[in-house]
Amino acid sequence: MARKKVIISERIADEGVELLKTELDVDYRDGIAREELLNIIDQYDALIVRSVTQVDEELISRGTKLKIVGRAGNGVDNIKVDVCTRYGVIVANTPDSNTISAAEQTISLLLSSVRNTAWASEYLKAGTWDRKPFRGVELYGKTVGIIGLGRIGSMVATRLKAFNMKVIAYDPYIADERFIRFGAEKRESLEELASEADFITVHTPRNEETRHMINEEFFARAKDGVRVVNCARGGIIKEEALLKGLESKKIMSAGLDVFEKEPANNNPLFKFKNVVVTPHLGADTFEAQKRVGENIAEQVIKALRGEIVPNVVNLPTMLNEELEYLRPYITLAEKMGNLYYQMEKSAINRIELTYSGPISANETEMLTVAFLKGLLEPVMWEKVNYVNARLMAEERGIKIFDRKEEQSPKRYKNLISARIFNNGHDLAIDGTVSRARDPLLVEINGFETESNLEGYLLIVKNEDRPRVIGPFATALGDEGVNIAGMKVARKAKGEVAIMIINVDTKVEENILDKLSKLDGIVGKPQLLQF
């Protein structure tokens, strides 16, 4: 089998390249011209970029084999994520790889700016020994306001707590528990944070909501002599407002690693001695670059194996430990979705999914996506994947509803329930995960069972009376079909019952036809494959 191919259009660490080479053919083209990339992208299964390569519809539409675009870094400003989603291409990044480096650079700029380190170094090297111009302030006992308490912001919080600082934070998208966990007092608005903080540091993504969120109005509410650090993204702090604040001495110092326009040349902020600047070095440590290269390589390899990729931008975000816990339930949801079109041919109007038990405390959108992927695969095959499954379901007019329940309504600790509605051929199925973390079907259309969703599965309707099940099993054996497991279920004595039989081999259509003619068998048995 031919090895899959990846092209790397910008520099990544050697360790990442070597890891990719263990499973893939690697074409390392650091700095490749756009026209050349457009002409050859159809040859590759994966593309790895940093921040320069523009991944837009023109490129994606030509990448007919592309399964994944890997961003060796955090931001995806240069990648049209919605376009990738529409084409079913995974977009993955490495948000955790540079977290430590970015947090440490924040602390470095904060300390350098409040102690005038860069200015004093330049002064002394020029030949003058004089301490008077450089008197700074201590962090001890002061209040730092952190805007954005995500991965990097929370690391900064824990480190500044070690300086005996009071930490306050604003982040409307973070649960209260996270503030408590990282020792930060929650503030309900930017204005409230601005009025209290002696130091302000920014750790949010740059988007339409956050662009220029730190502006003239913000600084007007801030304390006189406030000190500011930005190691996140240029443009979150409005540079014109920062410039005015420095000129009026409302802002006493600033530490900046990012700028509205990069590369930053002749920026008017550079004229201030109390402004420490670096050329976007937040992630630029040997350790971070090694982690970035290795992590993006691991994600590309996982994607091309068909495995779940942890840091997918166009899928629900999950922490590694959450993903590990949910992984067998993701498999279960996909297999449950796969049942419908193997059993029915009718178009679906609506799907209702319920997640019950402890799993409901997790991010269950990934389970919904997995169910939809499994649902559509029998009719769409390779066109559907985790990335575009919801979009394709909605395009087919399927309405999707999901909800959570803290307690499972049945004897199983965790339960996934699916109700699929069409024109009279509705299907109701429940599933859970065994102690061995295997997917189990526990109920189908009111018939209780515990059947493994692995390999081949026969679903047989039968009359509930003696001498039906035994002869059916014997007939299977006569055809050379070995039974791996069997469950029988009924709703009421004497009514139609079902057998759910795990078999070791495929049962051909002519055998299914013969089995349907056995005494007591209702209709043609259905063979499902997982």
The predicted pLDDT at position 5 comes to 97
Give the CATH number of domain 330-529; options: 3.40.50.2300, 3.30.1330.90, 3.40.718.10, 3.10.580.10.
3.30.1330.90
The predicted pLDDT at position 142 comes to 98
Q: Residue 113 corresponds to which tokens in the numbers above?
A: 């700016």
Termini Cα distance of the chain: 23
Q: Residue 282 corresponds to which tokens in the numbers above?
A: 């937040």
Residue 238 main-chain phi, psi, to 5 deg: -70, 115
Give the pLDDT mean for 208-227. 95
35-57 pLDDT, tens digit each: 999 999 999 999 999 989 999 99
Measured CA to CA, the distance from residue 429 to residue 340 in angstroms comes to 10
212 is catalytic: no
DSSP type of residue 223: P
Ranges 32-46, 176-190, 206-220, 379-393: which has the least confidence: 379-393
Give the pLDDT mean for 490-495. 92
344-370 pLDDT, tens digit each: 888 898 999 999 999 999 889 989 999
Q: What is the sign, positive or negative, of the torsion defined by CA atoms of 514, 518, 523, 528?
A: negative
pLDDT at 288 over 70: yes
What average pLDDT does the chain have?
93
Give the CATH number of domain 5-95+288-314; options: 3.40.50.720, 1.10.10.10, 3.40.1160.10, 3.40.50.970.
3.40.50.720
Q: Which of 115, 227, 280, 291 is catalytic?
A: 280
Q: Which of 23, 196, 262, 463 is catalytic?
A: 262
String of DSSP letters for 161-217 = HTTT-EEEEE-TTS-HHHHHHTT-EE-SSHHHHHHH-SEEEE----STTTTT-BSHH
pLDDT at 381 over 60: no
280 is catalytic: yes
| Helix segments in 30-87, DSSP class H | 34-40, 57-62, 81-86
pLDDT at 382 over 70: no
Which CATH number describes the domain made up of 99-277?
Answer: 3.40.50.720
Q: Which residues, at least 6 apart from 74, have a Cβ–Cβ distance to it below 8 Å?
A: 93, 94, 95, 98, 283
Task: Pinpoint the residues of the chain covered by CATH 3.30.1330.90.
Answer: 330-529
- This prediction has a pTM of 0.65
| Amino acid in position 335 | K
Task: Pinpoint the residues of the chain covered by CATH 3.40.50.720.
Answer: 5-95+288-314, 99-277
Q: Residue 209 CB: number of other CB atoms within 10 A?
A: 9
pLDDT at 23 over 70: yes
Give strand pairing partners of 6: 26, 46
